[in-house]
Structure 1
Amino acid sequence: MVAVAEIFLGALLQMLFEKLMSREVLDFARGEGVHKKLEKWSSTLRMIQAVLSDAEAKQLTSEAVKLWLADLRDLAYDVEDVLDKFYTKQIQNLLQGNSWKFTHIFMRKINSEINEITKRFDDISSREIKLGLNKIERSVPEWKRLPCSSLPDSPVVVGRDEDKKKIVELLLSDNQNKENFDVVGLVGMPGVGKTTLARLAFKDDAMKYFDIKVWVSVSDDFDYVRLTKAILNSIDSESRSFDEFSQIQNHLSKDLAGKKFLIVMDDVWNKKYELWLTLQAPFGAGAPGSKILVTTRNEDVAKLMAAVECYNLECISDDDCWKVFVQHLSNRNISEPSKLESQRENVVSKCKGLPFAAQTLGGLLRCKEIDEWKDVLENKLWTQPEHSNILSLLKLSYRYLPPHVKRCFAYCSIFPEDYEFEEKQLILLWMAEGLLQNPEGSRQMEDLGREYFRELFSRSFFQKSKKDESKYVMHDLLNDFARLVAGEIGFTLEDKVDYHKRCRIFKKVRHSAYISADLEGIHRLEVFSNFEHLRTFLPLSHSYNGRKYLTSNFTLQILPKLQYLRVLSLKGYCIRELPDSIGKLRLLRYLDLSYTDITSLPESVSDLYNLQTLLLEVCGYLNALPTGLKNLINLRHLIYSNKWHKRYDTSYPRSLKGMPSNMGKLTNLQTLSYFVVGKESSSSGVGELGPLLHLCGTLHISGLENVNGAKDAVLANLAGKDGIDVLLLEWKAKETADPDIFESLQPPLMLKELAVMNYGGSKFPAWMGNSLFSKMVKVRLKDCRRCKLLPPLGQLPLLKELTIKGLSGVESVGSEFYGDGGLNAWKIGNPLL
């Protein structure tokens, strides 16, 4: 790590102080007589934190200081593990009615860990003295939130018109190569804008010349199997999974046969000719004039691929650099043109013609008054000889983040290069890892997560994906920097680890994410049995269309060893069951079993008292949830969907027949995407939704034919759940329904979308069409065949889309249905049929 230990460790230690001082830990520690030892931990940590700045400076020249910082980081993680065990035990006692059975066994184990950690604290303290580390007042930059909630617009690309024109010409030129395709190289230094320029050319109208266009991210792992699959899936998203690589290549050859194609291979590092030779084999099937555009930092890479021409991308001018910088400032900064212009020379001298540098510096300074820029632009980091301008800029941007946001960024080091992630996905991971500080007042952790995410986005640590506007990516330089900050706590299966360093590194690994393979055998995954302190097991995939298989040795033998897991994902693997030992992963907060063949969850899942997120998307075979689900009092997000299920689509039977009893005890739930009202008395009735006051987003309630009278429907209190903006109400097809029950299911007035499916009553409720539903923009009525009159939906002031299908019982349509606006604002689909 290059001089980033102090700013990372400072954030980690601050989090530990908060946990040590929390009411839960203090109460439990006093009750068990260990509060004195924890107080010693706290005071020792404070003394250590006072010397972190000096340690940061000295680690550059002292291997002993560098090792001291690494050991301190590992100790801090182990302290957090012990504190989380305290908290978990407290929840268990609460759920068991304050039963203290087994407490002496627990305390015997935990006391051993406490004593071992205390010895390590003593060792750290004595080494600190021997190293001569001095107390230095740390200047923590003040965090000023953005003056408004707006995020920077997608920037206009500056200074690349001529470059784009030249690339387009090269792609459309005919070089009469003996092959049917030509390779064009786009070469440039990091941060100069190769990917941006390639994307501009890729989206140009002139590219309609090609029958097929494919974009594939490569990075330093030139896995020809993965790349071939990615190209094939881009051409044919419905292509089935093949076991043999030769089958994949043959299928790709058929798809390319006789067609003119453009394939952009972004960020290629490969220097092994045989790998390129294997990958390019199917390309010869294309029509003459096909092109492959390769972006790379190294011209030799493009030449190895027999590039007919290499276009070297130069830096942009100072004027253009300034324009890029200004694009990323806030309106407040731009409103003072004379002050802004006075900083021009200082700013462009730091950017060195690199668009990435201008963008990042703009993101850093947009949160500050212009008068405060001097502290950043004249920081000594710019003049340190071992730093490039880019590294200095990244370090400054990182230093000026608030402490908790620093750790959130460092966690992103687990993502592979060019991996596209969703905002909500990342926030839930941060939350599971304990990276979000406790909010004040009525604010939720998710609110803090969104704030932190927007902070990182506004400062250009994240950027919108060019392929999918709903997702985000990190620039490859920022990905590298995140790994630098995180150090050895992250590991991927693609990492090359020296054999002699494995033992030391494996003990330090806390987080692991990797791109999953079609077949995960024991030889590939056995390395995880060495990660005794692993917190994150996160296989990732660019697509979940194909079948992926996971050896049972992992779930039966390796998984039970990972006692410190906070995040566990088995998403996309063809597993049908989990072992009972899953319940022993007591610190688990995030469990993703989406896109699996799971049929049921072990009852032991109910022992995962810390679980915050349970993801069961596209689990078509799941027929039941654990009966003890009510014990998961920290559960905040329970997301389920049936296999092949799409919103409003009721053509597929749903395997989940009901919800476990006492769902109303899960009062922390914010997301409950699907609620089934079951027939059995042991199932939760719809009234169990009543206490779930924090529900938001989409709520789909099915099995409404099983509601036990209007009184139970009233108890659901849907009208009081203002966070719900999409509501789907579904009855069993061809069943009669009680109109009073439907009347009692009135949604909140802030609802935006409503769908009613298979309602078997004779009339719609009086609240449907009420003008008080002032936010309603979309309504869908499907297969409500016994209703004779349509509700007065024309009274809804903002209704934009209305779909009516299968209302064959409607006898007439009155003027109240149309309202004042007429039908011109609506989209009517298959009316009444």
Structure 2
Amino acid sequence: MREILHRHEIPSVITGIINEMHEIQQKMNHDYASSVSSVGRNPNEKGKKLNIVSSLDSRPQNVSLVDGRIFGRRVEANDIKELLLSDKNYEEKVPVVSIVGTGGIGKTTLAQLIYNDENVVKHFDARAWVCVSQDSDVTKITTSILESISNGQPPLERLEPLQQELKKWLQGKKFLLVLDDIWSDDRRTWDAVRVPINVAAEKGSRIIVTTRINRVSSIMSSIKKIDLETLPDEHCWKLFKRKAFVDDKICDKHPSLKEIGQEIVKKCRGMPLAVKSIGGLLYDDLDAKRWKSVLESKMWEVEAEETTMSALRLSYYYLPAHLKLCFAYCSLFPKDHEFDKETLVQLWIAEGFVSSKRINILEEDLGGEYFDDLFNRSFFQKYSKSVNRFVIHDLMHDLAESVSAGMYFRMEEGKSHHNNSGNLKMVHYVSMFHFQPDQYAMEKELCKFKELSTLLLILPSTRDGHILGDLFEQNRCLRVLDLSENYELVNLPNSIGNLKHLRLLNLNRTGIKVLPESLCNLYHLQVLMLENCRRLIEFPIHMGNLINLQYIVMGDDRWYVFKPIRGIGRLHFLRTLSKFEVIMQKSNGNKSTIGELKELRHLQGCIRIRGLEKVADFEEAKEANLFDKHRIDRLELEWNDKNERGSMEGVVEGLKPHMGLKELQIVNYGGISFPKWMMMMIACYDMLTTIQLRNCNKCKLLPPFGNLPSLKVLHISEMKEVEHIGKEFYGYGDNNNKKLGFPKLEIFSLSCMSGLKEWWGEEGEFPCLENLRIYDCPKLIKLPPLFPTVKLVEIKECDMVTSFPRLLRKVTNCPMLQSLSELHGLASLETLIINDCPMLQSLPELQGLASLEDLEITNCLMLQSLPELQG
């Protein structure tokens, strides 16, 4: 390292030191503010200092995130499910069931358990879950319903087309809608929301609403109202045990903890959220003194209606310091915000809240543990609409706002949601959502903040980035900048290059066309988010300067249109790279860039390598060093159809992946055989679950995939030289040493196999196969015998097939088919479809098909009669 500085370098060094000291001061101030704000019995107690228990949390972190148990609500749950599943007609075409109760009593939990009940899921054709925020109107609610049932269809702006679109989606369907946490008792709003549902939904559709307001039940003409009461102590104790102990045996071994725990439960006064919060706080903690201190805390000395909030404050009070920081940060987001776990963890990391002295653990893994710990303490809840989404209970959100006051500032539609008492100098974290006044008012508001660390700016418009230039100039210590959802933002000012401390830049769903070259000055940038930036097609020239970049977050479809990153080999810390495009370097002796992958030692997840025809041979491919990249679990290798440059077999051999690989795809491979690691060593890849081979037209033999113990999905298509599928496919070998082939395969498809004539096999193979598709195999004559576990079979355009085993579910365009084998024994068969089989003359007896619901036969000209269907 160089020890002597030139004179002109000294000011920049001093500036860097000052900025680092400023960041340390920010974190110290935040820790202090968070601790002080947590100790009061009510929000009006300020400045009171207590000794804070905030030791590092060393308890086990890996607790299941799914808990489908219900305590004490069986009667209510069964009553609601009976109404949902009955075919009884009511005056209202789509009747409403209301769940009413105070905050924290378990309304949402009850609705979630019913919404996800197996029988309920099967009963309805479509379901939607909508969190109704306090400022929701008809348009917002209708948009949310439409997005829920259409899995994110692009939103429309006006109510009329929204309602028309919703009617199309619901037409003739039995529909279940949950409207969670309704605050508005305006009858006109709910009448308007229900118009398209009443018009389109099938009889038997239902609506569930949860609310704290009794009047909501009457204005929505509910057919049944469930008034949730507090839980009896016996059920609260069961819930507490579930949250506080690893299992009941541990509870029984510690009678003193059991006694203290039962007293704590009584203080919760039957409020489930309070019970879960305190139980999560004490999870797997066997220190009786700590339990006693929780029981005797003065924070319990409140009125009955404040019980839940006092319990939440107590659970926050005992959080370790690092979890307090992470939880307070969530106050930047509105109520009912859907949190994506990975994104939130990245924000915490960017702010320096996640740091570890533990060896061999990544920051994102540790941050994930932080999140899981908060979840298991009930600071987060699962969001029913998506398995990867979470929400914060309204009362928890109120707590987050109270403990973050002074350093955090959130504004929604021009209204502040934090009381900073006019002191904005301490504010380091700011968010603005959907600011409605004129842009100049927003600029004026933003200019009040001089030392921001996080800025979340989710606005309907930013006047082409006009306001951002001055903003970046005055806030050069920003670590997080989120401009997502700003569809009209098409440019970033060059001054973004002044944000030298920026760690995370979120441009998701913006109209950005070009990233400024000054972006490449952000040497500390770790995360660049570009999902759904439809106008953006290339990176700046000097992207290789971002030497600390770890994540480039984009949808997989966008990588295909992006031009290759220049100097990507310099991004040594890069973890995500969905696509790597091989190009030729004339300046390097006309050699390909595949060797740049060697330096990307931290790559993880999926990598798709395209343009492999530019790689000459084994030695050149080996430079990528894929075998040592242990965290890559999905590998896709793709050639273009033209310009074959060298030995394809050698190239694939050189790209041998690590044996922990989980998914493999090979496209347009032109070698005459697969490499040794696929033919002779495939059994070593015992974690492979998915394989796809497409357009490998010169290969005559398939690898012995039957040797893969974990393989669940296999797709093979466009391999015209393969004529027989035999014992080598199952992995028997020449000595006929038989063993169970494909022990876990569930989905198998063969398509566009123009040369395939015979598929050999014996009973006992594919013991778990459920889904079999055979398309466009015109020479195929023979199929293996019975697959007893198959639930769906589709066979299409197989001209030479004359008969099928009794696995049949769907046959299309098989002109030589004359008969079907017996279908007895397939009691689970629900659908039988036979299309375009003009030579078919007879069907077997169908008496044993008790589950058959759909029978479709079309264009079978020689078929004269149908067998009798009974039972």
Q: TM-score scaled by structure 1?
A: 0.76
**Match for residue 797 of structure 2?**
none
Which amino acid in 1 is paired with 2:102? M
**Match for residue 600 of structure 2?**
692
Contact 1:439-1:445 at 8 Å conserved across structures:
no
Residue 45 of structure 1: how far off its partner (Å): 11
Change (3 A) 1:412 1:333: farther
Residue 59 of structure 1: how far off its partner (Å): 11
**Match for residue 829 of structure 1?**
749
Contact 2:77-2:114 at 8 Å conserved across structures:
yes
SS at match of 1:671: coil
**Match for residue 674 of structure 2?**
764
Residue 407 of structure 1: how far off its partner (Å): 0.2
Change (3 A) 1:256 1:54: closer
Contact 1:713-1:745 at 8 Å conserved across structures:
yes
Which amino acid in 2 is paired with 1:727? L
Contact 1:676-1:703 at 8 Å conserved across structures:
yes
Residue 52 of structure 1: how far off its partner (Å): 10
**Match for residue 347 of structure 1?**
264
SS at match of 2:728: helix
Identify the match of residue 145 of structure 1 among 35, 41, 58: 58
**Match for residue 780 of structure 1?**
692
Which amino acid in 2 is paired with 1:317? P
Residue 796 of structure 1: how far off its partner (Å): 3.3
Identify the match of residue 231 of structure 2 among 306, 310, 316: 316
**Match for residue 703 of structure 2?**
791
Identify the match of residue 417 of structure 1 among 335, 338, 357: 335
Richer in helix (by share): 1
Q: Which has the larger radius of gyration?
A: 2
SS at match of 2:237: helix
Kindly indicate whether residue 611 of structure 2 is the aligned counterpart of residue 703 of structure 1.
Answer: yes
What is the CA–CA distance in structure 2 between the aligned matches of 1:414 and 1:231, rounded to whole Å?
25
CA shift digits 1:716-739 (9 cap, x unpaired): 111111111111112223553632
**Match for residue 115 of structure 1?**
none
Change (3 A) 1:278 1:508: farther
**Match for residue 491 of structure 1?**
410
Change (3 A) 1:792 1:294: closer
SS at match of 2:603: coil
Greater shift, 705-714 or 746-755, is seen at: 705-714
CA shift digits 1:299-350 (9 cap, x unpaired): 1343444545543111121111111111123326742415154335313212
Greater shift, 579-588 or 140-149, is seen at: 140-149
Bigger relative contact order (CA 8 A; separation at least 6) = 1
Size of the alignment, in residue pairs?
720
Kindly indicate whether residue 166 of structure 2 is the aligned counterpart of residue 252 of structure 1.
Answer: yes
Kindly indicate whether residue 73 of structure 2 is the aligned counterpart of residue 160 of structure 1.
Answer: yes
CA shift digits 1:177-200 (9 cap, x unpaired): 4x6444443210111111122233
What is the CA–CA distance in structure 2 between the aligned matches of 1:48 and 1:425, rounded to whole Å?
22
CA shift digits 1:195-229 (9 cap, x unpaired): 12223343453687766543211032223221111
Residue 573 of structure 1: how far off its partner (Å): 4.6
Kindly indicate whether residue 528 of structure 2 is the aligned counterpart of residue 608 of structure 1.
Answer: no
What is the 5 A alignment of 1:302-313? 302-307=217-222, 310-313=225-228
**Match for residue 469 of structure 1?**
387
Change (3 A) 1:656 1:158: same
Contact 2:709-2:744 at 8 Å conserved across structures:
no
What is the CA–CA distance in structure 2 between the aligned matches of 1:54 and 1:259, rounded to whole Å?
54
Change (3 A) 1:734 1:428: same
**Match for residue 623 of structure 1?**
537
Contact 2:413-2:434 at 8 Å conserved across structures:
no
Identify the match of residue 578 of structure 1 among 485, 488, 492: 492
SS at match of 2:422: helix
Residue 362 of structure 1: how far off its partner (Å): 1.5
Identify the match of residue 659 of structure 2 among 749, 762, 785: 749
Change (3 A) 1:536 1:378: same
Greater shift, 747-756 or 242-251, is seen at: 242-251
Residue 613 of structure 1: how far off its partner (Å): 0.6
Change (3 A) 1:234 1:319: same
Which amino acid in 1 is paired with 2:69? V
What is the CA–CA distance in structure 2 between the aligned matches of 1:384 and 1:755, rounded to whole Å?
62
Residue 160 of structure 1: how far off its partner (Å): 0.9
Q: TM-score scaled by structure 2?
A: 0.73
Kindly indicate whether residue 250 of structure 2 is the aligned counterpart of residue 335 of structure 1.
Answer: yes
Contact 1:758-1:782 at 8 Å conserved across structures:
yes
What is the 5 A alignment of 1:173-252? 177=91, 180-204=93-117, 205=119, 212-237=126-151, 241-252=155-166
**Match for residue 177 of structure 2?**
263
Residue 449 of structure 1: how far off its partner (Å): 0.9
Residue 432 of structure 1: how far off its partner (Å): 1.2
CA shift digits 1:535-567 (9 cap, x unpaired): 4344679xxxxxx87641456656545544322
**Match for residue 721 of structure 2?**
809
What is the CA–CA distance in structure 2 between the aligned matches of 1:415 and 1:29, rounded to whole Å?
38
Kindly indicate whether residue 454 of structure 2 is the aligned counterpart of residue 536 of structure 1.
Answer: yes
SS at match of 1:266: strand
Which amino acid in 1 is paired with 2:520? S
SS at match of 2:415: coil
User: Runs of 5+ in structure 2 lacking a partner?
Assistant: 1-8, 732-738, 754-871
What is the 5 A alignment of 1:315-714? 315-331=230-246, 334-337=249-252, 339=255, 340-369=257-286, 371-372=288-289, 373-383=291-301, 388-488=306-406, 489-494=408-413, 496-497=415-416, 504=422, 509-513=427-431, 522=439, 526=443, 527-528=445-446, 530-538=448-456, 551-553=463-465, 560=472, 563-574=476-487, 575-596=489-510, 598-619=512-533, 621-643=535-557, 654-661=560-567, 663-681=568-586, 685-707=593-615, 709-714=617-622
Residue 745 of structure 1: how far off its partner (Å): 0.8
**Match for residue 13 of structure 1?**
none
Which amino acid in 1 is paired with 2:281? L
- CA-based RMSD of the aligned residues comes to 4.2
Contact 1:619-1:641 at 8 Å conserved across structures:
no
What is the CA–CA distance in structure 2 between the aligned matches of 1:48 and 1:331, rounded to whole Å?
33
Kindly indicate whether residue 637 of structure 2 is the aligned counterpart of residue 723 of structure 1.
Answer: no
What is the CA–CA distance in structure 1 between the aligned matches of 2:511 and 2:615, rounded to whole Å?
30
Residue 351 of structure 1: how far off its partner (Å): 2.1
SS at match of 1:469: coil
Which amino acid in 1 is paired with 2:128? V
SS at match of 2:405: helix
SS at match of 1:449: helix
Residue 681 of structure 1: how far off its partner (Å): 4.6
CA shift digits 1:57-82 (9 cap, x unpaired): 7998999xx5xx6xxxxxxxxxxxxx
What is the CA–CA distance in structure 1 between the aligned matches of 2:141 and 2:720, rounded to whole Å?
51
Which amino acid in 2 is paired with 1:667? H
SS at match of 2:131: strand
SS at match of 2:698: coil
SS at match of 2:280: helix
Change (3 A) 1:536 1:301: farther
SS at match of 1:267: strand
What is the CA–CA distance in structure 2 between the aligned matches of 1:767 and 1:43, rounded to whole Å?
55
What is the CA–CA distance in structure 2 between the aligned matches of 1:463 and 1:358, rounded to whole Å?
14
CA shift digits 1:381-430 (9 cap, x unpaired): 22256993222221222122221121011111223333332322111111
CA shift digits 1:452-493 (9 cap, x unpaired): 122212222223332222332222221221122112513132
What is the CA–CA distance in structure 1 between the aligned matches of 2:174 and 2:29, rounded to whole Å?
67
Greater shift, 594-603 or 760-769, is seen at: 594-603
What is the CA–CA distance in structure 2 between the aligned matches of 1:478 and 1:359, rounded to whole Å?
12
CA shift digits 1:618-654 (9 cap, x unpaired): 4555433222222212211123445478xxxxxxxx3
What is the 5 A alignment of 1:9-20? none
Contact 1:190-1:477 at 8 Å conserved across structures:
yes
SS at match of 1:294: strand
What is the CA–CA distance in structure 2 between the aligned matches of 1:694 and 1:726, rounded to whole Å?
14
Contact 1:571-1:594 at 8 Å conserved across structures:
yes
What is the CA–CA distance in structure 2 between the aligned matches of 1:348 and 1:59, rounded to whole Å?
19
Residue 250 of structure 1: how far off its partner (Å): 3.6
Residue 817 of structure 1: how far off its partner (Å): 2.9
What is the CA–CA distance in structure 1 between the aligned matches of 2:617 and 2:424, rounded to whole Å?
58
What is the CA–CA distance in structure 2 between the aligned matches of 1:515 and 1:46, rounded to whole Å?
28
Contact 1:520-1:550 at 8 Å conserved across structures:
no
